[in-house]
Amino acid sequence: MTRTTNAAKSGLYLDATTAEDLMTPNPVSIRADASVREATALLTDKGFSAAPVIDGAGRPVGVLSRSDILVHDRERVEHPSASHEYYDRGNLVLRNGERLDQSFDVESVDPTSVEDIMTPVVFSVAPHAGAERVVDEMLSLHIHRVFVVDGDGVLVGVVSATDILKHLRPA
């Protein structure tokens, strides 16, 4: 069965009945306890603007976007340790006796986890939720994605604005 939406007025219809028809199944997600560095690498490597954040049971607990990372990076104040100054680069030696070359540097690791900077809001629907309802909710809430969760609340898919566009057909 094909449902029509307001897009029908413009000569388009939504070729989907349920959230499951619209969703991208088994979405890439980020663990809540992952480091910001891990999350940044994931989003960058995959070319994603955002990803769902899940707990240990696979339930969505938030969303992490590139914007969340940028805000964190801008607001993060780093206080360099005086210990960086105490060594002479020429004297850096590993436990096995190997000398480190002049390009070696000490990195300040950001201990922040994803759950510290994510947006802790989850908009979700069941797989059998009507496709029109999903579109209407995304429009009314001004959101870019809705999580699809099973009866146990475990993430099984994501419906993004792009997923909806893929299901629009000429009338």
Question: Contact 17/3 with Cβ under 8 angstroms?
Answer: yes
| Over residues 148-158, mean pLDDT | 97
Domain that holds residue 140: 6-72+114-170
Task: Annotate 17-77 with DSSP letters as a single string.
Answer: SBHHHH-EES---EETTSBHHHHHHHHHHHT-SEEEEE-TTS-EEEEEEHHHHHHHHHH--
| Over residues 71-96, mean pLDDT | 67
Residue 35 backbone dihedrals phi, psi, to 5 degrees: -80, 160
**According to the model, what pLDDT value does residue 8 have?**
47
**100 lies in a domain?**
no
The pLDDT-based confidence of 91 (bands split at 50, 70, 90) is: low
**106 lies in a domain?**
no
How many domains does the structure of the chain reveal? 1
Q: Which residue has the higher pLDDT, 108 or 32?
A: 32
The pLDDT-based confidence of 94 (bands split at 50, 70, 90) is: confident
Give the integer Cα–Cα distance in Å for 68 and 34.
14
**128 lies in a domain?**
yes
Q: Which residue has the higher pLDDT, 100 or 48?
A: 48
**86 lies in a domain?**
no
Give the integer Cα–Cα distance in Å for 144 and 123.
10
Rg (CA), the chain: 22
**According to the model, what pLDDT value does residue 1 have?**
47
Give the integer Cα–Cα distance in Å for 165 and 35.
33
**137 lies in a domain?**
yes
DSSP one-letter code for 86: S
**According to the model, what pLDDT value does residue 90 have?**
57
Kindly tell me if the per-residue pLDDT of 136 is higher than 60. Answer: yes
**According to the model, what pLDDT value does residue 81 have?**
55
**11 lies in a domain?**
yes
Percentage of the chain exceeding pLDDT 90: 70
CATH code, 63: 3.10.580.10
**96 lies in a domain?**
no
Kindly tell me if the per-residue pLDDT of 3 is higher than 60. Answer: no
**99 lies in a domain?**
no
